[in-house]
Structure 1
Amino acid sequence: MIIILYLLFLALPSWAKTFDLPDNARAKVGLGLGLGIPVCALVIGFFIFCYLKKRTITIIIRKKNEDVNDATQEFGIETGPKKFTYKQLALATNNFGEGEKIGQGGFGGVYKGFLKEIHSHVAVKKILSGSKQGIKEYAAEVKTISRLRHKNLVNLIGWCHEGKELLLVYELMSNGSLDSHLFKGSCLLTWSIRYNVIKGLASALLYLQEEWEQCVLHRDIKSSNILLDSNFNAKLGDFGLARLVDHEKGSQTTILAGTMGYMAPECILTGKADKVSDVYSFGVVALEIATGKKPLDPMTEDGHIRLVDHVWDLYGRGKVSEAADSKLDVDFDEGEMECVISVGLWCAHTDPDARPSIKQAIQVLNFEAPPPSLSKTVPSEIFATPINMSAF
């Protein structure tokens, strides 16, 4: 249409001459048409642009809805997660009031609520638009965790997708996250509880890697994603970055995902996630639990920024007991402490080939196999992984 109008505009001088008009009238007609046709073309072009833009946005929204529907189409089964309305969840959480907030992350907030429909307290994860957890992560979390059944995994009760609102409903973990107890003074975890948490997390990882129909790569195992129930049993949650792979394949190359300090060195450079990279994260968490220290500490006195390097240095000098969390006040089983630290270092080895399978780690934790024979010195970096502390 615009091209036709443009051609007419070019033909104006010769076309105007065919009319028997005075020169001044012919000039006015030519001027009017000369100005009017381009303006009309611009107006028509603007409306065409608006139409195409609206159509594109509609297609994108429809595609996003299809992604979520594809991920949740199996929820019709009675034993699966239930679909809730936004109104139901807003009512349950006092309209997502600040007084009900029990957690906050890059994805949004987590709110405590009571759902009359199921007569139960719940935790509602409300994902902010434009957050780290977008539609793909939401769909992955719904699709993955809804099919998993294990005592050490957080149970997904339901979900909600209305317009731009993305929400997930979980069973409420009354004792919050592991990191809140280790670093925020919620309450002191005794050694027996800590040891049980480590074994519970290992059991969850074994299920994900070996016992389910597919291998589940969690890709974000860390203390803040480990929740504690009323009996302080560990339950692994937040499957927003999880990926499913065949057991035979056991790995996936993708964009960098995870949390610095917990990510295996090879993941940072290659983006390749596999079973042993999740094992690495497990090892870091085990050392966190034993020492009460965070994975990265730029202010450490011995110069080791990484917790793994700090503990390995003590291990090599035969001072494993000094690595134990001082808040425990030596109230721990030394044999179990040494076992956890050796397993943690073994799992968090810089060389992926030197790490154990999670099954081997469990055998040592259960004293069904001897502890690993590790180097007395901190292993050299197989992968160069410079740390940018400004990112934390």
Structure 2
Amino acid sequence: MAAMFFKLVMLIQATLAAAQNVSFIYNGFRSENLSLDGVAQFTPNSLLMLTNDSQDKSHAFYPNPVTFKNSYSDTIAFSFSTTFVFAIRSVYATLSGHGMAFVISPTRGIPGAFPPQYLGLCNNTNNSNETNCVFAVELDTILNNELGDINNNHVGIDINGLRSEKSAPAGYYAPNNGGFRNLTLISGQPMQVWVEYDGAKKKIDVTLAPIVVDKPQIPLLSLKRDLSMVLNKTMYVGFSASTGSFLTSHYVLGWSFATNGQAREIVLSQLPKLPRIGGKKRSNLVAIGVPVMSVSLVLLAISGLIYGIRRMKKFAELLEDWELEYGPQRFKYKELYIATKGFKEKELLGTGGFGKVYRGILPSSKTEIAVKRVSHDSRQGMFYLHEGWEQVVVHRDVKASNVLLDEELNGRLGDFGLARLYDHGKDPQTTRVVGTLGYLAPEHTRSGKATTQADVFSFGAFLLEVACGRRPIGTQGQDGEIILVDWVFSCWKRGNILEARDPNLGTEFIVEEVELVFKLGLLCSHSVPSARPSMRQVVQYFEGDIPLPELSLDGLSARDLTFPHHEGFDDFVKSYPSSTSKGTSYVPEPTLLSGGR
């Protein structure tokens, strides 16, 4: 009798689950009834475009709630399966927005979520909050150290926040023991993702592959996790994406989803085409006819051009990408060649790691100038520091004298003579203390390791120096040594942080902006490296994209905000003198980015 009752209960459970099952498939999006917000839209050729060339976050959700638990029990979450085809295209070949994610959320739209590194899923106050009840699989294309990212090209399983429970570099395991193949998420090429949750085994599998490859047998990610405590009885399923400084389009070409069963296979042949890269295709007349008709004219002109080419070759120049911004201010190579008398050695002023500097006189204005001749083969002059490049660039000597201003007061960081390169996620191999006293982070003076947090510390010193009009370490009368950060902190503790401002500011300033500089300078100067913001966050604070965390005097002390003092460095300074700038500097160890400004 008991066995029969048990079978009856199981039959009822199976019947109820079947009645609540959801299954749908989109082979392209032809004005489908999805819930869209932000800039999400359907393109004329049936693509779901989550973001375009604007800086924003967007969501696209299946309009109806999906049941993930039985009505009579909320302790067991249903199994589910989804697969989708996506593509990420940026206006730059190697830089992009923050990425996109498949999402299971208690609401559509996710109010209060931030767009940049939080992918429109949460914000800096509720990230990793257990009450979020959000499950996501992120396709992350920006390295955010504060979120524990492994690199700038990874897939992660997120639960209640953007600090992934498990992540792996984007790629797939090729069939027949073909090994692991890397994929670039921002390649612009369509790829397919499979996300599967087994409610019985409490296991999540995530698989990624190009659309020309069948689903790999080995998943990219596997995580043992019971989602019963994460998923509510009913949830919404969909996508979220966000862009930042680098404008990016996130596309979904097709999507299939099912609970308590396998999602139907997307029909790849029915998927819409992605926009053409590089503009419209030329007609046959332009591509074939015009060149053929022009051959005779070109042949006639060649003889007359040979002489001119030989002469112009002497003054040939190459425009690099970073020069385009300064077009109106460029000098022709011919002018500089004449000004330096053909870059003769007798006009040489000095040599650095980035090239040679020559004395010159402009023939038109008779103005005396200095000209640096940089090799086009060198990539040393390309300035992505902590993020945005294939390697981390740590400057190691951020200070006021290394910040250059143009006529419009736009700042540029110079003097990369001490800079070091290392791979994302790796420890820097530096062991010698280098930099300028007053800007050195406490942990750097102890270990000698150059890190991005050490650069942030130096930047904090620079902020306070500019805002106060004082050196980071100075003397005043009989008071002896004054540590700038200690003095600013004491002004804040007395309830008048503006007392520390530079008197030359007068009264024509915005109080909130000056206070922001002071508080951000103090935050960057925290003695604990992990408490300092990243440089990406610093920019976001200044631009108002995210609010500055509320700083409390109760949470900070003078011990938390401190510069390393002179003790223990006297012999070191005497052994390694430097004349590159005022104050005490340290000589660099050999680097890949050595010398020059």
Q: Which of the numbers 344, 359, 365 marks the counterpart of 2:521?
A: 344
2:292 pairs with 1:292: no
Provide Cα deviations, 1:16-41, integer angstroms capped at 9, x if missing partner.
xxxxxxxxxxxxxxxxxxxxxxxxxx
Q: 1-side partners of 2:421 and 2:500: how far apart?
A: 36
TM-superposition CA deviations, 1:182-217 (whole Å, max 9, x none): xxxxxxxxxxxxxxxxxxxxxxxxx41111221100
State which of 215, 237, 244 in structure 1 corresponds to 2:421. Answer: 244
Q: Is the 8 A contact 1:316 1:375 kept in 2?
A: no
Deviation at 1:356, TM superposition (A): 0.8
* Stretches of structure 2 lacking an aligned partner (at least 5 in a row): 1-315, 324-332, 574-582, 584-597
1: CA distance between counterparts of 2:420 and 2:519? Answer: 29
Deviation at 1:364, TM superposition (A): 1.6
Counterparts in 2 of 1:244 and 1:312: CA distance versus 1, 3 Å: same
Asked whether 1:281 is paired with 2:516, we answer no
Contact 1:314–1:323, Cα closer than 8 Å, also in 2: yes
Q: 1:356 aligns with which of 529, 533, 544?
A: 533
Inter-CA distance 216–91: structure 2 relative to 1 (3 Å threshold): same
Q: Secondary structure at the match of 2:421?
A: strand
Is the CA contact (8 Å cut-off) linking 1:214 and 1:245 kept in structure 2?
yes
Amino acid at match of 1:351: V
Distance, in Å, in 2 between the alignment partners of 1:356 and 1:286 is 14
- In 1, distance between residues paired with 2:358 and 2:483? 33
Aligned 8 A contact 1:256 1:271 in 2? yes
Change (3 A) 1:246 1:89: farther
Tell me the residue number matched to 2:448.
Answer: 271
Counterparts of 1:93 and 1:336 in 2: how far apart (Å)?
A: 49
Q: TM-score, normalised by structure 1?
A: 0.50
Alignment partner of 1:314 is 2:549: no
Aligned partner of 1:145 in structure 2 is 380
Give runs of aligned pairs for residues 366-381 of structure 1, distance below 5 A. Answer: 366-376=543-553, 378-380=557-559
CA RMSD of aligned residues (A): 4.5
Counterpart of 2:565 in structure 1: which amino acid?
A: P
Instruction: State how far apart, in whole Å, the 1-side matches of 2:359 and 2:520 are.
Output: 36
Take 1:312 and 1:228, find their aligned partners in 2: how far apart are those partners? 28
Equivalent AA in structure 2 for residue 277 of structure 1: A
Alignment of 1:1-392 (within 5 A): 78-79=318-319, 113-114=360-361, 123-124=370-371, 143=378, 145-146=380-381, 148=382, 207-249=384-426, 251-299=428-476, 305-376=482-553, 378-380=557-559, 385-387=564-566, 392=583
Contact 2:525–2:562, Cα closer than 8 Å, also in 1: no
Contact persistence 1:208–1:215 (CA under 8 A): yes
Specify whether residues 292 and 249 from structure 1 end up closer, same or farther in structure 2 by C-alpha distance, changes over 3 A only.
same
SS at match of 2:482: coil
Out of 278-287 and 291-300, give the one that drifted further.
291-300
Describe the SS at the equivalent of 1:276: helix
Residue pair 2:441, 2:457 contacting (<8 A) in 1 also: yes
1:221-257: per-residue Cα shift (whole Å, max 9, x none)? Answer: 1111111112111111111111111122263423111
Structure 1 residues 381 and 335, CA gap change in structure 2 (3 angstroms): closer
Other-structure match for 1:168: none
List alignment gaps of at least 5 residues for structure 1: 1-75, 127-137, 154-206
Q: Secondary structure at the match of 1:256?
A: coil
8 Å contact from structure 1 (residues 93, 112) kept in 2? no
Q: Secondary structure at the match of 2:450?
A: strand
Distance 1:259 1:299 in 2: 20
Structure 2 distance, partners of 1:90, 1:243, is 35
SS state at 2:437 partner: coil
Output the CA distance in 2 between the equivalents of 1:120 and 1:245: 41
Could you tell me how far apart the structure 2 residues matched to 1:209 and 1:78 are? 28
Q: CA deviation at 1:317?
A: 1.8
Q: Do the aligned residues in 2 keep the contact of 1:296 with 1:307 (CA within 8 Å)?
A: yes
Match of 1:131 in 2: none
Residue matched to 2:43:
none
Higher relative contact order, structure no. (Cα contacts within 8 Å, ≥ 6 residues apart): 2
Q: 1:343 and 1:87, CA in 2 relative to 1: closer, same or farther beyond 3 A?
A: same
Aligned partner letter, 1:386 = H
CA distance in 1: counterparts of 2:511 and 2:562, whole angstroms: 33
SS at match of 1:244: strand
Which structure's residues are more often helix, by fraction?
1
Q: Which amino acid aligns with 1:324?
A: R
Give the drift of 1:298. 2.5
Deviation at 1:367, TM superposition (A): 2.1
User: Secondary structure at 1:369's aligned position in 2?
Assistant: coil
CA distance in 2, matches of 1:347, 1:215: 19
User: In 1, Cα distance between the equivalents of 2:481 and 2:494?
Assistant: 15
Q: Distance in 1 between matches of 2:429 and 2:479?
A: 36
2:457–2:526 contact (8 Å) kept in structure 1 = yes
SS of alignment partner, residue 211 of structure 1: coil
User: 1:280 is paired with a residue of what secondary structure?
Assistant: helix
Q: Which residue of 2 aligns with 1:53?
A: none
Inter-partner Cα distance in structure 1 for 2:535 and 2:413 = 15
The secondary structure found in structure 2 opposite 1:387 is coil
TM-score (norm 2): 0.34
